[in-house]
Amino acid sequence: MSYKFHPTVLREYDIRGIIGETLGPDDARAIGRSFATLLREAGGKTVAVGYDGRVSSPMLEHALIEGLTASGCDVVRVGMGATPMLYFAEASLKQVDGGIQITGSHNPANYNGFKMVFQGRPFFGQDIQKIGLLAAEGAWLDGTGEVSSHEILEDYIDSLLAGLDGIDPAKLAAIRVGWDAGNGAAGPALEALVARLPGEHFCLYTEVDGNFPNHHPDPTVEANLEDLRSLVAEKNLDFGIAFDGDGDRIGAIDGEGRIIWGDQLLMIYAEDLLGRLPGSTVIADVKASRALFDRVAELGGKPLMWNTGHSLIKSKMKETHAPLAGEMSGHVFFADTYYGFDDALYAAIRLIAASARLGKSVTELRGAMPNLLNTPEMRFQVDESRKFAAVEEVKARLTGSDAPAGIEVNATDGVRVTNSDGWWLLRASNTQDVLVARAESESEAGLERLMHQIDEQLAASGLQRGPQAGH
């Protein structure tokens, strides 16, 4: 039996679509059959399955499990929870060989999708394309799998709290934190966590509601942090933490309400970690500030700039044995005393730990950072057939014999150009028909010149910056 997915659904890092339009139960069943076939061919047998708080998630879970068992895999249901809880189940349950989380992450309420782990490694890119090929050929194995359930929450909370081991309890007892779960899937785990945390904690929107009635659960958008800002100001808290819809991305503000962006959080984590593991490699994506790479080097670490994309970063961490990595988007990965997957609840624990171990408030740590001017991530529509080609053209112009003097070009992921004014980046999104641009400088005039250079390069490829595209 052959099955075809909507062409927009099988993406670079995950599978995602609009319920009732591009994604439904038949897709979930086919995904289950393909994933189970690949896992059994690789010698695996058992899959952990979890789901987020979206209205459509239970329906997709039911169909996914039908597909997995019909191709001979056993399923361990871990129920509704954050994506990192599924990752934790896959990493910690001895009998489990793979994991699938049903989640729409931070997308609008009518979206949903699947994030996957395969025998302890990220499942992305060509792996996801194989799901489609197997389905199109109907080349599925047959079998009869069994289904069981496992309550993972308590073990998961224990593993989070281990991030505070060895820290003076008096320092932890003094910390006061605000939290915003955004009605996402991390809410119940957050409530269980703060009930056991020392210090004072104030929570917003921990009730799971797939319609997201208070604000959209994307902590990288400043408007979504307003309620948390108000809470921190009103209660005079040390800092605030926010989560995305499935709990794998962190957002943070300090005691003065200033945002601590993903690369700035990494600067704090690196200072804490490099004090204990000197000389370690710290990975950040190409969108991260120069200040981060400089700070890691200054602290005696080895900064490594890598491709954007949580699956790509996780793979690079395994390859380089880096104990810490992160992205501007708020995915942070710890592999020193944790599992190396992106877990926003654990990242929050490590922020509390860093502040206590370094003997500085989060506000002090944020205040000590260089005051650089940077643009937000600018995303603009470009035809799918042109996006990668345009970036290649820019790269060719800037590295060829006629390249301008005084620039340094890093082509790790797109084109990142550094000159006396700072740096700018142009890269093609792996998941949408957009180009992504960003720039950073020490001055307004410098930032303006960098933006002008981006516009010049786009014009030379017959493109212009605009209109802006959303996520």
Contact 240/263 with Cβ under 8 angstroms?
no
**Whether 441 is catalytic:** no
Q: Check if CATH label 3.30.2000.20 holds for domain 156-275+327-367.
A: no
Return d(Cα 312, Cα 339) in angstroms, integer.
16
Q: Check if CATH label 3.40.50.150 holds for domain 373-460.
A: no
CA distances from 51 to 87, 365, 468 (A): 12, 36, 31
Return d(Cα 404, Cα 415) in angstroms, integer.
14
Q: How far is CA 240 from the centre of its chain?
A: 19
pLDDT at 468: 59
Catalytic residue selected from 56, 57, 71, 105 = 105
pLDDT at 383: 87
pLDDT at 306: 97
**Length of the chain (residues):** 471
pLDDT at 384: 83
Return d(Cα 19, Cα 37) in angstroms, integer.
25
Find, among 206, 238, 259, 225, the residue nearest to 53 by Cα. Answer: 206
Handedness of CA 228, 163, 270, 320 (dihedral sign): negative
**3-state secondary structure at position 210:** coil
Could you tell me the two tokens for 254?
Answer: 């300090």
pLDDT at 467: 59
Angle at 310 between CA 254 and CA 260, to 5 degrees: 10
Class of residue 284 by CB neighbours under 10 A (exposed 0-12, middle 13-18, buried 19+)? buried
Return d(Cα 47, Cα 147) in angstroms, integer.
10
Provide CATH code, domain 15-151.
Answer: 3.40.120.10
Domain ranges for the chain = 15-151, 156-275+327-367, 373-460
Tens of each residue's pLDDT in the chain, 471 residues: 899 999 989 988 889 999 999 999 999 999 999 999 999 999 999 999 999 999 999 999 999 999 999 999 999 999 999 999 999 999 999 999 999 999 988 788 899 999 999 999 989 999 999 999 999 999 999 999 999 999 999 999 999 999 999 999 999 999 999 999 999 999 999 999 999 999 999 999 999 998 899 999 999 999 999 999 999 999 999 999 999 999 999 999 999 999 999 999 999 999 999 999 999 999 999 999 999 999 999 999 999 999 998 889 999 999 999 999 999 999 999 999 999 999 999 999 999 999 999 999 999 999 999 999 999 888 888 988 899 999 999 999 999 888 888 999 999 999 999 999 999 999 998 777 899 999 999 999 999 999 999 999 999 999 988 655 444
pLDDT at 105: 85
Class of residue 451 by CB neighbours under 10 A (exposed 0-12, middle 13-18, buried 19+)? middle
| Domains 156-275+327-367 and 373-460 belong to one CATH topology | no
pLDDT at 324: 98
HEC letters along 359-380: CCCHHHHHHCCCCCEECCCEEE
pLDDT at 470: 47
